[in-house]
Amino acid sequence: MPPRPSEITPQAVWDTRRSFVQAALALAGGLAAAPARAQGEAANSLDEISRYNNYAEFSSNKDVVWKLAEDFRPTPWTVSVEGECEKPRAWALDDLLRRHAQEDRVYRLRCVEGWSLVVPWRGFPLAALLADSRPTSRARYVAFEAVMRPQEMVGQRRPSLNWPYAEGLRIDEAMHPLTLVVSGVYGQPLPAANGAPLRLAVPWKYGFKSIKAITRIRLVEQPPVTAWMQAAPSEYGFYANVNPEVPHPRWSQRRELRLGETAKRPTLPFNGYGADVAALYAGMDLRQQF
Amino acid sequence: MAAALPSRADATCFALCAGPALWLAASSMAGGLGPNPLDRLLHVSGRAALWLLLVTLAVSPLRRASVQLARLVHARTGKRLADWNWLIRLRRMLGLFSFFYALLHMLLYATLDAGLSWSAVAGDLAERPFIALGWLGLLLLAPLAATSTNSAMRALGPWWRRLHLLAYAAALLGLAHFALQAKATQAGPWPETAALVLLLGGRLRAWWAGERQPAVEAQRPARAPGGTAT
Q: How far does B120 lie from chain A, in Å, by closest CA? A: 8
Q: Look at B184 and A54; give whichever has higher pLDDT.
A: A54
pLDDT > 90 fraction of chain A, expressed in percent and rounded: 84
pLDDT band of residue B226 (cuts 50, 70, 90) is very low
Res A201: pLDDT = 98
Res B228: pLDDT = 40
Q: Is residue B228 part of a domain?
A: no
B35–A255 CB contact, under 8 Å: no
> Cα–Cα distance between A271 and A110 in angstroms, integer?
7
Q: Is residue B161 part of a domain?
A: yes
Give the 3-state secondary structure of residue A151: coil
Res A28: pLDDT = 42
Q: What is the mean pLDDT of residues B159-186?
A: 91
Q: Is residue B229 part of a domain?
A: no
Give the 3-state secondary structure of residue B102: helix
Q: What does the pLDDT look like over A168-221, one tens digit per residue?
A: 999 999 999 999 999 999 999 999 999 999 999 999 999 999 999 999 999 999
Q: Is residue B4 part of a domain?
A: no
Q: Please enumerate residues of A whose Cβ is less than 8 A from a Cβ of B.
A: 47-48, 51-52, 56, 60-63, 113, 115, 160-161, 231-232, 235, 247-250, 252, 254-255, 257, 259-260, 262-264
Q: State which residues form the domain around B94.
A: 10-208
Q: Is residue B26 part of a domain?
A: yes
> Cα–Cα distance between A253 and B107 in angstroms, integer?
20
Which among B38, B109, B186 is the top mutation candidate for probing chain A, defined by the most A β-carbons within 10 Å of its own β-carbon? Answer: B38
Cβ contacts from A onto B, under 8 A:
66
Neighbours of A1 (CB within 10 A): 4
Residue B45 has pLDDT above 60, yes or no: yes
- Lowest-confidence pick of A35-44, A98-107, B181-190: A35-44
Res B79: pLDDT = 58
Question: What crossing angle do the helices spanning B85-108 and B7-30 adopt, rounded to 10°?
Answer: 20
Residue A78 has pLDDT above 90, yes or no: yes
- Lowest-confidence pick of A43-52, A266-275, B11-20, B184-193: B184-193
Q: Is residue B213 part of a domain?
A: no
Indicate the residue of A115, A249, A250 with minimum beta-carbon distance to B36: A115
- Beta bridge partner(s), residue A119: A107
A255–B115 CB contact, under 8 Å: yes
Q: Look at B164 and B62; give whichever has higher pLDDT.
A: B164
What is the identity of the amino acid at B138? L
Q: Is residue B177 part of a domain?
A: yes
pLDDT band of residue A37 (cuts 50, 70, 90) is low
Q: Is residue B226 part of a domain?
A: no
Q: How far does A247 lie from chain B, in Å, by closest CA? A: 6
Res A1: pLDDT = 53
Indicate the residue of A51, A250, A263 with minimum beta-carbon distance to B115: A263
Domain count of the fold of chain B: 1
Find, in chain B, the residue whose alpha carbon is nearest to that of A49: B35
